[in-house]
Amino acid sequence: METRSLSTQIWRDPVFMSLEDKEQKIILFLLTNDKMPVLPAYQIAKTEIAFYCGTTVQKVEDVHPKIKSFGIHSVQDDWYVIEEKFTRAVYTGGKTEKARERVWNNFPPFIKKIIDLDGFIAQSLLNDSHSSELPTASINHISYTRNQKPETINHKTEIEKLIEIFNSLTGKNTKSYKSFFENFKTWRKEYSFSQIESAVRSASDHGWIWKSHDGSPVDWNLELLLRTRNRTGECDYIARLIDPTYKGAGKKSVSSNLDL
């Protein structure tokens, strides 16, 4: 199952704010429509976009020069590739890898050159002002980005190292990572391992006080820190922990209201 979330920052984005109502609707539709599978590319005709947005094909075409500002790339044959700039997909269930492989195998060759099986996007596409000029190099020799993919990541080795750091800081004996391994892999697409490590050390060094929604203290752990959602919606505790503005107060004076 896929849930696609839209960042509230889009409503404060100066380019988005400058658009007319119909133009904004087109942008939101391109970011969130149900054509997008478990990989960030889909095909849809401009006539269909116009129909769902209650506007004209001409208006859709007029908006196209602006869509790149929102991480939307119009390729060829009515294909679109979507960066995780204002939107993020969260997948649940145990068949995601098989679903990705099935979708990728059905992509046309020019899309396969842009997106790999993990959903990472070729850097050449993002840097090219003319997205229809597709990369011709082998997929293994293209520089990728979907929040960077400079190297192959060994998630198992990294999560074991993170647990070792966590245990050394807290005196705990955490061994299993089954409950938060998928979340760790999700955050590794957003942050480097050193940033996640910094978040763990910050939580320890600055005595974060984790609280449940009723105000009771919570014994924090890696499963909580690596959450992608809480009872109020999408959350990102890593960003808060590595943000210097959350470290200015004295030890144990900084709190995180953790809604369970």
* pLDDT at residue 139 tops 50: no
When mean pLDDT is compared over 9-13, 47-51, 135-139, 198-202, the highest value belongs to 47-51
Residue of 27, 95, 90, 29 whose CA lies nearest to 236: 90
- Cα-to-chain-centroid distance, residue 191: 10
Range name among 99-113, 135-149, 179-193, 242-256 with the lowest pLDDT average: 135-149
How far, in Å, CA of 55 to CA of 26, rounded? 9
For residue 131, the model assigns a pLDDT of: 43
CA angle 12, 14, 16 (to 5 degrees): 80
CA angle 75, 77, 80 (to 5 degrees): 40
3-state SS string for the chain: CEEEEECHHHHHCHHHHCCCHHHHHHHHHHHHCCCCCCCCEEECCHHHHHHHHCCCHHHHHHHHHHHHHHCEEECCCCEEEECCCCEEEEECCCCHHHHHHHHHHCCCHHHHCCECCCCCEEHHHHHCCCCCCCCCCCHHHCCEECCCECCCCCHHHHHHHHHHHHHHHHCCCCCCCCCCHHHHHHHCCCCCHHHHHHHHHHHHHCCCEEECCCCCECCCCHHHHCCCEECCEECCHHHHHCCHHHCCCCCCCCEEECCC
How far, in Å, CA of 72 to CA of 70, rounded? 6
For residue 104, the model assigns a pLDDT of: 87
For residue 208, the model assigns a pLDDT of: 59
Kindly state the percentage of the chain with pLDDT values over 90: 24
Side chain identity, residue 121: I
pLDDT tens string 160-177: 999 999 999 888 898 888
pLDDT tens string 80-129: 998 877 776 655 555 667 788 888 889 999 888 888 877 777 756 555 53
Compare 82 and 151 and report the one with higher pLDDT: 82
For residue 241, the model assigns a pLDDT of: 81
Domain ranges of the chain: 2-145, 155-257
| Burial class of residue 217, CB neighbours in 10 A (0-12, 13-18, 19+) | exposed
Enter the pTM of the model: 0.51
For residue 204, the model assigns a pLDDT of: 77
For residue 147, the model assigns a pLDDT of: 40
pLDDT tens string 219-257: 778 988 898 887 778 888 888 887 755 443 333 333 444
